C-alpha cells in the first residue's frame, strides 16, 4: 500500500512540474547619439577567435545599424580590463570594412576569453572614436523572450516511461517477496 502511495506521489509530481527546455539568447543594443546597433548571441557563446588575456572576437555576426545590416564581414571584438598599476577599462569595437564604433568602460563579461559570460543589464560606456569629446553610449544586454509569453510546459515522456518502468519493477519485486513469504 505504501509503495502505491509513493508511486502516485512520484508520477503526480512529474506531471505537476513539467520540464521546459529552451536555448537562451542574449540581445545586445548599443545606443549612441545618431545610431543604434543591435545583435544577438547565445548565452554561452563560443568566440570565433580568442587570445588569452587579450581579447576575443565574433566574426560574421549579424549586426544591424538602425535596422539595416552592416554586412556579412562584421567583427565584434571584446577587450578585457588591462593595464599595469592602474586598471584600464575594457571595451569592444564593432567593425565592418572599418571600425564603426569603439567603446570603453565597464567590462560586460566575466569568465575567460574562451568562455565569456555576459552580464545582463544596462551599462554606460564611453565612445573613444570621437576623442576628446568622449560621448556616452548605452549598452543594454537583455535575455531574449523576456516579457514574452512563456512556452507551454510539456512533460518529458521518456522520464515518465523510465519512472513507470522502475515503479513497475519495484511492484513486481514486492509481489515476489510477499508470495515467497506466504509459502
- CB-CB contact of 46 with 111 (8 Å): no
Instruction: Name the DSSP class of 67.
Output: T
Q: What is the mean pLDDT of residues 67-87?
A: 67
pLDDT at 6: 52
Write out the three cell numbers for 173: 519485486
Q: Which of 54-58, 78-82, 96-100, 129-133 comes out lowest in average pLDDT?
A: 129-133
pTM to 2 decimals? 0.61
Please, is 29 exposed, middle or buried when counting C-beta atoms within 10 Å of its C-beta (0-12, 13-18, 19+)? middle
DSSP one-letter code for 30: E
The least confident of 87-96, 114-123, 171-180 is 87-96
Q: Is 25 helix (H, G, I), strand (E, B) or coil?
A: strand
CB neighbours (10 Å) of residue 6?
12
Of all helices (H) and strands (E), which one includes residue 38? strand 36-42
* Rounded to 5°, angle at Cα 117 from 114 and 122: 135
Asked if pLDDT for residue 44 goes beyond 60, the answer is: yes
Would you state the pLDDT for residue 169?
92
pLDDT at residue 18, as a whole number: 45
DSSP state letters, 124-170? EEEE-TTTTT--EEEEEEEETTTTSPPPPP---HHHHHHHHHHHHHH
The Cα–Cα gap between 72 and 70 comes to: 7
Q: What is the mean pLDDT of the chain?
A: 75
Amino acid at each position: 500500500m505504501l509503495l502505491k502511495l509513493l508511486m502516485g506521489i512520484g508520477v503526480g509530481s512529474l506531471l505537476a512540474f513539467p520540464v521546459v527546455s529552451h536555448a537562451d539568447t542574449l540581445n545586445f543594443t548599443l545606443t549612441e547619439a545618431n545610431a543604434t546597433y543591435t545583435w544577438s548571441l547565445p548565452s554561452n557563446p563560443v568566440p570565433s577567435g580568442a587570445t588569452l588575456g587579450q581579447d576575443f572576437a565574433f566574426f560574421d555576426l549579424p549586426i544591424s545599424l538602425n535596422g539595416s545590416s552592416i554586412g556579412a564581414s562584421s567583427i565584434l571584438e571584446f577587450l578585457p580590463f588591462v593595464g599595469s598599476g592602474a586598471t584600464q577599462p575594457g571595451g569592444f569595437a564593432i567593425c565592418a570594412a572599418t571600425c564603426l564604433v569603439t567603446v570603453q568602460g565597464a567590462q560586460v563579461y566575466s569568465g575567460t576569453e574562451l568562455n565569456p559570460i555576459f552580464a545582463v543589464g544596462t551599462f554606460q560606456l564611453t565612445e573613444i572614436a570621437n576623442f576628446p569629446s568622449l560621448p556616452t553610449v548605452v549598452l543594454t544586454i537583455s535575455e531574449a523572450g523576456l516579457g514574452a509569453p512563456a512556452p507551454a510546459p510539456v512533460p518529458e515522456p521518456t522520464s515518465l516511461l523510465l519512472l513507470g518502468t522502475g515503479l513497475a519493477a519495484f511492484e513486481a519485486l514486492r509481489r515476489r517477496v510477499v508470495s515467497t513469504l506466504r509459502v
